[in-house]
């Protein structure tokens, strides 16, 4: 065995150990998030401290790994101080002078539209979406943006269809911290049929759509918890795509349902009176029911539960 080979092996073992530790830490964070032991919002804010990791790796390389314990200890301390600084624990100021966001009021009327096509895309934060009382209001509520984030609020018409786009536009490279408290609190119309598409980034989403008239629903989750209660009447299709985190979908009593499950690395549980054929679950009388939902569930890394 040559001297060069002998010198290389400790470095290879060190890199392997570092990767193993990183995987263990990431796995633990995902687990505590899935079991609700730590808020996904907090985990998201921790994730935005990743530049500290780059600095630590660079310093470690420059010092030829002679002071690993000191370097990584300093990185942990620096990360903790930055997190506390950003949450207001030691100053509560906005990092690097970036704008801290604002509270926006969202309000649009149907103005004679006979149906609606609504897209809602969030980046980081909490989304609360519900159906409002019957009337001419298409959407009403508030959006609290974060630093470096703007809200794209666009309403157009396509024939008799009101087309609404509410999309988070996040400026690249801007740090997102706990001081943001990003919240979307919106109520949608139940007066006309609606095709609804929701996509979340990091954070929780809570959809209460029991009285809504849906022609279709698409929900694509990122990282975080999702709870959704589907409409209790009508005939529509719903597609749920999970990311990392727990997802719970409730089908109201009295609704016939067919549930098709596409499992990922996580677990999917379908509870209720269903007959099963492979990956498809169907309630009695589904084929002839007037009020029914065709639900497709695509599993991710977390746990998905469908209750009926």
Give the whole-angstrom CA distance, residue 125 versus residue 203: 5
In the three-class reduction of DSSP (H, G, I as helix; E, B as strand; rest coil), residue 286 is classed as coil
Average pLDDT over residues 105-120: 95
In the predicted structure, residue 97 carries a pLDDT above the cut 50: no
154: tokens are: 């666009």
**Which of 216, 269, 224 has its CA nearest to residue 243?**
224
Average pLDDT over residues 112-121: 95
Residue 250: per-residue pLDDT: 95
More confident residue, 124 or 235: 235
* Ordered DSSP codes for 57-82: HHHHHHTTTTTHHHHHHHHHHHHHHH
Question: Burial letters for 266-279: b for 16+ Cβ neighbours within 10 Å, e otherwise?
Answer: bebebeeebeeeee
Give the lowest-confidence range in 43-47, 57-61, 87-91, 296-300. 87-91
Average pLDDT over residues 254-271: 85
Average pLDDT over residues 77-101: 51
Give the whole-angstrom CA distance, residue 94 versus residue 6: 49
Average pLDDT over residues 79-97: 49
Give the whole-angstrom CA distance, residue 302 versus residue 224: 9
Share of the chain above pLDDT 70, in %: 66
More confident residue, 54 or 216: 216
pLDDT in tens, 45-78: 565 666 666 676 777 677 777 766 776 677 676 6
103: β partners = 144
């Amino acid at each position: 065995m040559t001297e060069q080979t002998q010198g290389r092996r400790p470095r290879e073992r060190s890199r392997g150990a570092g990767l193993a530790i990183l995987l263990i830490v990431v796995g633990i964070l995902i687990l505590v998030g899935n079991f609700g032991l730590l808020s996904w919002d907090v985990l998201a804010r921790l994730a935005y401290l990743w530049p500290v990791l780059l600095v630590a790796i660079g310093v470690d390389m420059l010092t030829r790994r002679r002071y690993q314990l000191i370097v990584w200890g300093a990185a942990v301390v620096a990360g903790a101080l930055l997190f506390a600084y950003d949450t207001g624990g030691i100053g509560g100021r906005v990092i690097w002078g970036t704008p801290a966001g604002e509270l926006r009021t969202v309000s649009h009327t149907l103005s004679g539209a006979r149906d609606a096509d609504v897209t809602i895309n969030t980046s980081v934060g909490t989304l609360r979406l519900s159906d409002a009382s019957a009337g001419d209001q298409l959407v009403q509520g508030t959006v609290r943006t974060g630093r470096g984030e703007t809200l794209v609020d666009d309403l157009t018409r396509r024939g008799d269809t009101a087309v609404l786009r509410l999309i988070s536009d996040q400026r690249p490279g801007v740090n997102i911290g706990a001081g943001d408290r990003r919240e979307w609190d919106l109520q949608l119309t139940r007066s006309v049929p609606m095709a609804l598409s929701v996509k979340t980034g990091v954070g929780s989403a809570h959809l209460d759509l029991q009285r809504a008239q849906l022609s279709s629903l698409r929900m694509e989750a990122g990282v975080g918890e999702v709870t959704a209660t589907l409409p209790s009447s009508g005939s529509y299709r719903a597609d749920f795509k999970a990311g990392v985190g727990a997802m719970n979908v409730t089908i109201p009593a009295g609704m016939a349902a067919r549930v098709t499950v596409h499992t990922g690395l996580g677990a999917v549980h379908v509870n209720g009176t269903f007959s099963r054929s492979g990956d498809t679950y169907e309630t009695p009388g589904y084929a002839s029911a007037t009020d029914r939902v065709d639900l497709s569930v695509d599993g991710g890394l977390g746990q998905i539960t469908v209750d009926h």
